[in-house]
Amino acid sequence: MAKQQDICEIKSVDQAKVKAVKKAMLSDKDVYGLSETFGVLSDTTRLKIIYALSKEELCVCDIAGILGSSISAVSHQLRILRNMRLVKFRKEAKRVYYSLDDAHINKLFNEGLKHVRE
């Protein structure tokens, strides 16, 4: 007993099916990439930031104003988007202006929106 709940002991499993699907399974790299990509898009703050930046280039304070959240919270999320190269920025005097750097993410975003709205 001990570990009856552990990894499936394969007693009455369709071995042929399992082998076939296992062989066709996505690579770890693909799976990890997918979870990362969809993960950025799974937070409401980040979604709003991406949507706002798809409309216009904005400074951090503008974004915070639009979202109604703190500058710090926005800045933390912008760092995540920066690290994933989804946004780029330019400095102008005291301000930092952000804009979308990845057109593809917009396509994914809109595909998601279609799914949600239908």
Q: Which residues are at the interface with DNA (CB under 7 A)? A: 3, 5-6, 11-13, 39, 42-46, 59-62, 69-80, 89, 91, 93-97
Binding test (CB under 8 A) with its own copies, winner from 76, 83, 85, 111: 111
85 Rama class: left (phi>0) / alpha (psi -120 to 50) / beta: left
Binding test (CB under 8 A) with its own copies, winner from 1, 12, 91, 92: 12
The tokens of 16 are what?
A: 């042929």
Query: How open is the CA angle 37-42-45, to the nearest 5 degrees?
Result: 115
What CA–CA distance (Å, rounded) separates 80 from 84?
6
**Binding pattern to its own copies, positions 25-64, x when CB under 8 A?**
xx---xxxxxx-xxx-xxxx--xx--xx--xx-xx-xx-x
What CA–CA distance (Å, rounded) separates 108 from 7?
34
Return the one option of its own copies, DNA, none that residue 75 interacts with (CB less than 5 to 8 A, by type): DNA
